[in-house]
Structure 1
């Protein structure tokens, strides 16, 4: 399966035969089966629909393209604190570029069309198409450029990137700040512009060799079912290609792929138990086999004992931090940055920290894990440079190759399609087990009750989880974004990593400045790290499946992770107070810790069941080895459900576990069966048993 850039033209200023286009997508027309694995077209469609609703609620529409511009420590040719944005009117061709934090007196602004071909990458290179919009003059570190573009001069041009360079230099010579449309923007404009192409001055003109046929039905009948099916086909092709890249593409580096750390058969993460089963030749251990990476690339002892990976989160000129590998399930539901979301009335919900607004997405453990504008799309670029390099020189073209524009599209599609496309609704769920139901009640509150006389919080009545984990996800119930908070994890006594390696530095979380003073007073040779002490909030629906816990794997079991919030480390941390200074001190009993933990185990098992049945549906639509592979993945999710329900020792839903064991046996046989008919029969029986297990654990109100 190959995803290609579209060779089509959108005449955005009403001139048939001229204009430029965003690079959209096309599905291959061969008969090869699409293998999506854990990727899910329905999930990506849900993510796209939510993005579209959010975008339009903020006043966005298909006639305006807005791209944020920021410095990229990987693509920029010089350091800069500048940030900006470009707005393009797709109906008139009017362009406005604004920027602040500028240090030079003048900059050129460019549109970049990254051309396909051997040795081409996402970075602006000689041979790519560049179109200069004009010069932006800076006054008191700010500047603005307003101009309009000529459609004829941009015939066939695809906007892959907008670049601000130093005046007099082209984008392949100088890149100060830049921005690029992400996957959801590209889908939106492909969908909307073609749908409107026959309604007014906006025209859609396909080249004679265009592979844009999948969008032609939109022009004829924008609301037809066939149109929706074609968009789904595009998404499916992108997800399948993204999965191939995620699991197999080394980007000409040290042998690692994305799946080296984000294992498909282990909930897209790794842990010490999994690592212990790997052979010495596994690419994960490249620091032990490649002399050029022996020092400063990984800490093999911390990797093997604690599952920690070295990340130069503050830049390669500063010491790295040791972090666990976060899973990528339901990623689309956990990366919304605080301060960017509006409520149902369109009112912007303000976040607590202005720094968070500098990042398009809350990625990595600290919210600033992506280069440039902080988008998921750019995260893949950073991962290649950080983890795939052959040497610490990290020279593109020698130590690795950067991804292409099309590869970034596909990787983003795959990552956004993993897991849930929505959070659960706890208010409509009643659990059969009284212990689990009590755990839900303790969990699903955001504040301690207050004594009416003393005005002090009454402890032991709430676990106060809902404030940061609305519906057990990773979204604040107040801001509807991912809250980055300092919850005291980093200052726990006797950290496992420090005990194993006393030179392990403090991890400052989000930010690249010494806000906590950990570096200022230290000896220059002492390793320290930068930041504000805040870390992302992870989703909890998948928590029981993805131990150990926290950004440094400092806690081994789910019960210990819940009990952490009873400790002084949390209750004395900034995170125990809300932005309005409400006290969220947690003091719950051991039996309450068990109840909350069993609740989390149960909702994890319910998600395992949902995902396993989705994989089974996909398996039944495939033939041969592809179908067996998907049956195996479904079986592994069912096995996970059994494990999370039984590892807590107390097993309140034993009848459900028995049905899951029977379902697992059917799936095990299905994964081995050479007969498609028999395999599908076994999978249908397994699905039915899992649905029965679900019904035994929970009832859901309409």
Structure 2
């Protein structure tokens, strides 16, 4: 009865909500402006662009694992480079390639593409192959750096490659007054709350494009309604015909996954050390969420040729290791028609505009900039305030940065957790294995359980208490900090803070999406609504985990009820309902924050 009365009041009041909300959903532009401002503040980066390359299974024509870098010096108008190889017999050339936009060609170098030879690598006697500084147009607008065998055109042979990121290309095109070179697009459907055609096209690809493979898409594992991730509880809700389970239906794909560990632990198989022994050489890893990935990879390092460190141990992207190249590794690992994984046969190689669109969509998810001013908040609950103060004064940010922008790798002993003892041993990146794994964004921790690369901690409390465990104490980082002990009160305060900021973030993301729907009431918004419902249910669950803010929980439940009805409306009526829900969510912030001088969230 109470719910019916409350809902009736909400519906009545909604007709009197006449506020007009601007569309502030140009997330890609926000992310780019942050990238641009960072570069404009770094004169070294502006004048010296260091750019890595490495092995890419979709582009390489050999199995050589060559790495290195090229440097473009805009001040001297020269280029130089280096290969990390001690083999004096290696002979290779360095090229820059710009793919032809608007064609049906792939990102693999083709005859229709523009190709410029930078120079030849020469062994210098100091265990290095270098390209001496050469004069050429260093302002050339390129998509890939390519290393080829000596005297071979990139069309006919590739030893290594590295992709320029979407933002790097845009930045340098603006710097040198070059055309945008991005293809015009006509995105299908409305699965992203934006009018940016590149982002919309990327969203369409993310959730629908199989690249000629086994039926999986990016969204098969990165579920929008589940924080762009997977866990065992969510997997249990899926139909047996879901593309995630293709290995159970197609005998030749049986070794694509470990069927038991996928269903019981939410773990995906990764052949990070190669595909030569599929039955025995693999690791099992959780699916990274994508929230605020624009902040994590906001800037490619000027000194690290593999800058973005994606995946759980920095090995998620081939080539240079950027978000732009992540799709290559994903297609090869997860999409093949057969386990031969032959490019052009078991899947198709993506086109340049598809790579850029997928990168753009992922950069639009979640926060696009640091939540500057978050630590100036005064929270209503003293426990929340205490939790923030503990995190500020303790060792948390040595690895995690200020809540969510760090993506560095550390050995904290997670591979040796007793709860992971039944899993195939995962020693991290490379054959030697450093046992280093990426630190994760704490802002999104409360609604993305389970935790660590192996899903070995089921709750937020269990994940935090890892740092008081013997597994942590015996790790390199444990040796650095010692066990980080918490009293029960301190633990409750920390989780209160982490859950509170997570709730604020979820409500902010829902408001952004509702704002777009309110401004575009006649567009199909089913996919956006489904994502919002997932976020709102996350808020309920996170609040329930610690019995926080019961009045806010009741308001969120009412918003969910109104959303279920209003999602099918059109025109001004739909706008009115969504504006009202925005009002409720905006007011809900005040239940968590007493003072918010920077107006964050």
The TM-score range, normalised by the shorter chain, is: 0.7 to 0.9
SS at match of 2:97: strand
| Offset, 1:171 | 1.1
Conservation of the 8 A alpha-carbon contact between 1:81 and 1:102: no
Conservation of the 8 A alpha-carbon contact between 1:619 and 1:628: no
Output aligned runs, 1:546-585, within 5 Å. 546-577=448-479, 581=480, 583-585=481-483
Conservation of the 8 A alpha-carbon contact between 2:26 and 2:196: no
- Tell me how far apart the structure 2 counterparts of residues 472 and 336 of structure 1 sit (CA, whole Å): 15
After superposing the two structures, state which structure 1 stretch, 427-436 or 100-109, moved more.
100-109
| Offset, 1:626 | 1.8
- Tell me how far apart the structure 1 counterparts of residues 309 and 376 of structure 2 sit (CA, whole Å): 28
Q: Do residues 182 (structure 1) and 107 (structure 2) align?
A: no
SS at match of 2:345: coil
More helix by share: 2
Conservation of the 8 A alpha-carbon contact between 2:96 and 2:146: yes
* Structure 2 residue aligned with 1:491: 416
After superposing the two structures, state which structure 1 stretch, 617-626 or 277-286, moved more.
617-626
SS at match of 2:590: helix
* Structure 1 residue aligned with 2:513: 615
Q: Do residues 322 (structure 1) and 284 (structure 2) align?
A: yes
CA deviation digits over 1:137-187, x for unaligned, max 9? 322232224433489xx9xx8622222211121213221222232101111
Q: 1:135 to 1:268 in 2, by over 3 A?
A: same
Q: Do residues 597 (structure 1) and 492 (structure 2) align?
A: no
One of 302, 326, 331 as aligned partner of 1:384: 331
Q: 1:484 to 1:657 in 2, by over 3 A?
A: same
| Offset, 1:538 | 0.6
Q: Do residues 661 (structure 1) and 580 (structure 2) align?
A: no
Q: Do residues 422 (structure 1) and 369 (structure 2) align?
A: yes
Q: 1:413 to 1:213 in 2, by over 3 A?
A: closer
- Tell me how far apart the structure 2 counterparts of residues 533 and 640 of structure 1 sit (CA, whole Å): 31
- Tell me how far apart the structure 1 counterparts of residues 377 and 581 of structure 2 sit (CA, whole Å): 24
Conservation of the 8 A alpha-carbon contact between 1:99 and 1:143: yes
* Structure 1 residue aligned with 2:397: 466
Conservation of the 8 A alpha-carbon contact between 2:31 and 2:298: no
* Structure 2 residue aligned with 1:334: 296
CA deviation digits over 1:324-348, x for unaligned, max 9? 101001012224799x48xxxxxx9
Q: 1:336 to 1:569 in 2, by over 3 A?
A: farther
Q: Do residues 513 (structure 1) and 409 (structure 2) align?
A: no
Conservation of the 8 A alpha-carbon contact between 1:332 and 1:416: yes
- Tell me how far apart the structure 1 counterparts of residues 163 and 95 of structure 2 sit (CA, whole Å): 12
Output aligned runs, 1:302-313, within 5 Å. 302-313=261-272
* Structure 2 residue aligned with 1:398: 345
| Offset, 1:298 | 0.3
Q: 1:193 to 1:680 in 2, by over 3 A?
A: same
- Tell me how far apart the structure 2 counterparts of residues 540 and 257 of structure 1 sit (CA, whole Å): 27
- Tell me how far apart the structure 2 counterparts of residues 303 and 212 of structure 1 sit (CA, whole Å): 38
Q: Do residues 434 (structure 1) and 382 (structure 2) align?
A: yes
Give the gaps of 5 or more residues in structure 2: 1-22, 186-192
CA deviation digits over 1:623-664, x for unaligned, max 9? 43523543443333222212211133x32x122222222222
Conservation of the 8 A alpha-carbon contact between 1:269 and 1:326: yes
Q: Which has the higher contact order (CA 8 A, sep 6+)?
A: 2
Conservation of the 8 A alpha-carbon contact between 2:124 and 2:130: yes
| Offset, 1:100 | 4.1
| Offset, 1:192 | 2.8
SS at match of 1:379: helix
Give the gaps of 5 or more residues in structure 1: 1-38, 195-203, 215-232, 342-347, 349-356, 447-463, 476-481, 515-530
- Tell me how far apart the structure 2 counterparts of residues 205 and 310 of structure 1 sit (CA, whole Å): 42
One of 677, 688, 691 as aligned partner of 2:583: 688
Conservation of the 8 A alpha-carbon contact between 1:474 and 1:537: no
- Tell me how far apart the structure 1 counterparts of residues 368 and 362 of structure 2 sit (CA, whole Å): 11
* Structure 2 residue aligned with 1:132: 117
Q: Do residues 586 (structure 1) and 499 (structure 2) align?
A: no
SS at match of 1:370: coil
Conservation of the 8 A alpha-carbon contact between 2:219 and 2:228: yes
* Structure 1 residue aligned with 2:27: 43
SS at match of 2:92: strand
What TM-score comes out, normalization by structure 1 length?
0.74
- Tell me how far apart the structure 2 counterparts of residues 595 and 135 of structure 1 sit (CA, whole Å): 60
| Offset, 1:132 | 3.0
- Tell me how far apart the structure 1 counterparts of residues 324 and 488 of structure 2 sit (CA, whole Å): 43
Q: 1:55 to 1:316 in 2, by over 3 A?
A: farther
SS at match of 2:524: helix
After superposing the two structures, state which structure 1 stretch, 323-332 or 58-67, moved more.
58-67
SS at match of 1:467: helix
- Tell me how far apart the structure 2 counterparts of residues 44 and 373 of structure 1 sit (CA, whole Å): 22
CA deviation digits over 1:34-89, x for unaligned, max 9? xxxxx985432232222223333332576765533333344232414441214164
The count of corresponding residues between Structure 1 and Structure 2 is 560
After superposing the two structures, state which structure 1 stretch, 240-249 or 165-174, moved more.
165-174
* Structure 1 residue aligned with 2:249: 289
Q: 1:47 to 1:283 in 2, by over 3 A?
A: same
SS at match of 2:491: helix
- Tell me how far apart the structure 1 counterparts of residues 77 and 369 of structure 2 sit (CA, whole Å): 37
- Tell me how far apart the structure 1 counterparts of residues 67 and 40 of structure 2 sit (CA, whole Å): 27
CA deviation digits over 1:305-337, x for unaligned, max 9? 110000112232361110010100101222479
CA deviation digits over 1:242-261, x for unaligned, max 9? 11110110000000000000
Q: 1:150 to 1:602 in 2, by over 3 A?
A: closer
Q: 1:188 to 1:234 in 2, by over 3 A?
A: farther
One of 515, 523, 536 as aligned partner of 2:438: 536
SS at match of 1:372: coil
CA deviation digits over 1:255-300, x for unaligned, max 9? 0000000011111011111111111110000110111111x21001
- Tell me how far apart the structure 2 counterparts of residues 569 and 671 of structure 1 sit (CA, whole Å): 48
Output aligned runs, 1:267-278, within 5 Å. 267-278=227-238
One of 97, 100, 111 as aligned partner of 1:112: 97
* Structure 1 residue aligned with 2:16: none
